[in-house]
C-alpha cells in the first residue's frame, strides 16, 4: 500500500530529490565525514549508499585514506591541509608519471 504522502505529486517529487548519482554521492563524502551535511543531503547520501555497493566500497577506501593521511600528518608533525612544499609537489608529480614497477617477488631467475 502506497502511503498517502508519497501518492501525491509533491510526495513523489520529494522522494525523487533523495535519489542522487554516484558523482553527487562522492562529492558529499567529505562533508559527511565532517558531519557538516544538511539533513536532506545526509539522508540522500545514506539512501544512495544503501542502494549502491560501488559507492559503499569507495566510501570505505576514502575513509581509510583519510585516516591514513591524518595519522601520518600527526606522526610527522604536519598540520592536515597545510600547503605542500615545492619539493613534495615535484615528488608527487614525478611518482604519477613513473610507470608501475614490476614485482619480482616469487620470480625465479633461471
pLDDT at residue 75, rounded to an integer: 76
Mean pLDDT on 47-59: 94
Specify the higher pLDDT residue, 107 or 70: 70
Q: What is the pTM of this model?
A: 0.56
What percent of the chain lies above the pLDDT cut of 70?
A: 71
Separation of alpha carbons 59 and 49, rounded Å: 9
CA 66, 69, 70, 72 torsion: positive or negative? positive
Separation of alpha carbons 18 and 47, rounded Å: 7
Does 42 score more than 70 pLDDT? Answer: yes
Highest averaged pLDDT of the listed ranges 1-5, 47-51, 89-93: 47-51
Amino acid at each position: 500500500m502506497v502511503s498517502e504522502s508519497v501518492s501525491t505529486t509533491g510526495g513523489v517529487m520529494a522522494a525523487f530529490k533523495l535519489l542522487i548519482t554516484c558523482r553527487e554521492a562522492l562529492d558529499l563524502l567529505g562533508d559527511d565525514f565532517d558531519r557538516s551535511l544538511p539533513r536532506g543531503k545526509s539522508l540522500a547520501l545514506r539512501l544512495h549508499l544503501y542502494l549502491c555497493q560501488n559507492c559503499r566500497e569507495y566510501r570505505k577506501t576514502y575513509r581509510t585514506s583519510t585516516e591514513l593521511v591524518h595519522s601520518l600528518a600527526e606522526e610527522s608533525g604536519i598540520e592536515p591541509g597545510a600547503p605542500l612544499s615545492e619539493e613534495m609537489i615535484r615528488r608527487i608529480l614525478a611518482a604519477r608519471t613513473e610507470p608501475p614497477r614490476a614485482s619480482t617477488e616469487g620470480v625465479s631467475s633461471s
